[in-house]
Amino acid sequence: MNTEINNIIISNNLDGYILPKNDNYFTEYSKLNNLQSITKFSGSAGFAIFLKKKKYLFVDGRYTIQAEKESGKNFEICEIPYVWPKDILKKQMKIGFDPDLFTWTTLNKYFGDCYNLIPLNFKFKNKNKIKNNYPFFSLDSFVAGESINRKIDKLIQIMKNKKINYTFVSSGENICWLLNIRGKDLPNSPVANCKIILTDKKQIYFFSNQNKINKIKLSLKKIKIQFLEENDIFKCLIGLKNGNFSVDSNTCSVFEESLINCKFKILHREDPIYFLKSSKNKTEIKNMVNAHIEDGVALTKFLYWIKNREINNLTEKKIEKKLEIFRKRSKNYLYPSFDTIAGSGPNGAIIHYRSDKYSNRSLKKNDLLLLDSGGQYKWGTTDVTRTVCFSNVSNRIKNIFTRVLKGHIGVALSNIKKEKNGHNIDKIARKSLNNIGLDYRHGTGHGVGAFLNVHEGPQGISKNNFVKLKEGMVLSNEPGFYKKK
């Protein structure tokens, strides 16, 4: 048992403690990584529960094999959504958590409403915390395509219609969209870690690390904005007149909600920026197309390269590096939009696999190579998957590959006016595989940001996404099939 966690449990008279992967910005790939340093699990999502005598690691289907490999010795691996904490814990148990790192949405989802959850003001000593002072920057109008003022006006209009006085925007990606800014607070996306309060009088209070804001001050000069320290939220709230406060419980922490709750009436609303942002404007679409052309050139050159050489001395890691070299030839390329998945043979069956020094495998002539990668370009984000073979593969593989391809084409040709949502299109994607009793354990597609997160909501192509699809939404198209051998 980790001694720090053991001490928390004992000194607070608890039965257990829950440790999440995320930091207080609730981004997909956060850098703060206590979960990894304590459990060894390196995947992008999951959480651990430490009880006095037993430890559990909860991950989703993408990460079950990886979690078993990395942490299976010391942790029982539980796969969400088949097992939840509420299935394992006893109801009277007292479980500690950090209110900065949880939202009510996640707590309710994991625990239901019948647990004794104890907020604790305890911070881990983070030995490998990376000091990041990379400045935020503003987007040119030929990248953003819509002015800050127009975007804010849209949001104010929504607030007025719903009689909301204040909106707390706690999602950095949405503030990036609203203020036409970006940052470098995440390894694979230009999200700026910040939060804002927007008042119905069009005043903005901007909370972030003050060392990062110099470059954006000029472009934001025309709007009413006040820059404050990350932990000045309470100070700011005290100075505001009473009223309604709209918060989004997907990214507003338990702690922040309790601060707002001291003085204001809280209305739980999905941040309307998700919807505004999901329909890309003409400029953004043009830029995304261009980013995909540049990315396509890099991938095509890579495929030509790998198809015309001996593969015997190639490993997954070498492939990852080579692909990066081809992308870097574009002067507009910045960095990968997610960790490249180069999985050969059985490693290709690990959804969201990341090759490391233990798993790194040499390519073999009869193996398939799964290559799923993407890039961040100065004005666009890409995500592309290809399966490569180096020999004449069996008819069974050809058959399954064709069925996956049929699903892919089915998605590409589907009519959004007729299908209406991702739930219906997901069925089309799986149909040909389902016909012979096969399937895959992930969604078919996700929204993609315009020089932002490679995974973006609210739209998606999956079994449980019923969001109405609109023109201008951008989605990935990635059915698949996975088998170890």
Kindly report the length of the chain: 485
- Of 174, 170, 252, 243, the closest CA to residue 207 belongs to 170
The span of 78-86, 174-182, 293-301, 472-480 binding Mn ion (CB under 5 A) equals: 472-480
Min dist CB 477 to Mn ion, Å, is 9
Min dist CB 174 to Mn ion, Å, is 20
Instruction: Give the dihedral of Cα atoms 235, 116, 270, 422; nearest 10 deg.
Output: 150
Task: Rank residues 414 and 476 by Cβ distance to Mn ion and give the closer one.
Answer: 476
Residues 6+ apart with CB under 8 A from 367: 344, 345, 348, 390
Q: Which two tokens stand for residue 207?
A: 């909370």
Instruction: Determine the Cα–Cα distance for residues 409 and 363; give it in Å rounded to an integer.
Output: 29
Contact between 257 and Mn ion (CB under 5 A)? no
Task: Rank residues 338 and 390 by Cβ distance to Mn ion and give the closer one.
Answer: 338
Q: Binding marks (x or -) toward Mn ion, 207..246, rule CB under 5 A?
A: ----------------------------------------
Q: What would you report as the CA-atom Rg of the chain, rounded to the nearest whole angstrom?
A: 23
- Of 44, 325, 292, the closest CA to residue 186 belongs to 44
Task: Find where tokens 């449980």 sit.
Answer: 464
Task: Rank residues 173 and 383 by Cβ distance to Mn ion and give the closer one.
Answer: 383
Task: Find where tokens 């969400």 sit.
Answer: 80
Task: Rank residues 427 and 442 by Cβ distance to Mn ion and give the closer one.
Answer: 442
Min dist CB 446 to Mn ion, Å, is 6
Q: Binding marks (x or -) toward Mn ion, 280..299, rule CB under 5 A?
A: --------------------
Min dist CB 372 to Mn ion, Å, is 7
Contact between 373 and Mn ion (CB under 5 A)? no
Contact between 383 and Mn ion (CB under 5 A)? yes
The span of 147-155, 204-212, 301-309, 378-386 binding Mn ion (CB under 5 A) equals: 378-386
Could you give the C-alpha distances from 427 to 292, 309, 414, 423, 463, in angstroms and in order? 26, 39, 11, 7, 8
CA atoms within 13 A on the CB side of 380: 24
Q: Which residue number is nearest to Mn ion in terms of Cβ?
A: 383
Task: Rank residues 20 and 460 by Cβ distance to Mn ion and give the closer one.
Answer: 460
Please say whether the beta carbons of 67 and 212 come within 8 A: no
Instruction: Determine the Cα–Cα distance for residues 355 and 388; give it in Å rounded to an integer.
Output: 17
Q: Which two tokens stand for residue 291?
A: 């980013």
The span of 125-133, 231-239, 397-405, 468-476 binding Mn ion (CB under 5 A) equals: 468-476
Task: Rank residues 70 and 339 by Cβ distance to Mn ion and give the closer one.
Answer: 339
Task: Rank residues 28 and 383 by Cβ distance to Mn ion and give the closer one.
Answer: 383
Task: Rank residues 383 and 426 by Cβ distance to Mn ion and give the closer one.
Answer: 383
468 DSSP β-pair partners: 421
Q: Which of 30, 64, 287, 476 binds Mn ion (CB under 5 A)?
A: 476
Contact between 189 and Mn ion (CB under 5 A)? no
Residues that bind Mn ion (CB under 5 A): 383, 476
